[in-house]
Amino acid sequence: PLKREVARLNRHVWLTALRRDQAETRKATPILALQPDGVLKVAPMVAWNSRAVWAYLKARSVPRHPLYD
């Protein structure tokens, strides 16, 4: 569904919050990846770890989503 909507909306960039520390299968996730369909996938948080994410959220007073717990 996401790829279909990206194509329908004629988008050329896809931002993702993937991080390398989330799973073994994500260890080699690149910051930039050109998809076969020509869409550029950008993972700006790829080098962050869980501690960095929580520090960022705390420093900016981002409220915790109630469903997170």
**Adjacent-strand bridge partners of 14:** 41
* Cα-to-chain-centroid distance, residue 12: 16
Q: Which of 17, 13, 18 is nearest to 39 (CA)?
A: 13
Q: What is the pLDDT of residue 1?
A: 86
| Model confidence, pTM | 0.79
Could you tell me the two tokens for 35?
């998809």
pLDDT at residue 55 is higher than 90: yes
Angle at 38 between CA 35 and CA 40, to 5 degrees: 60
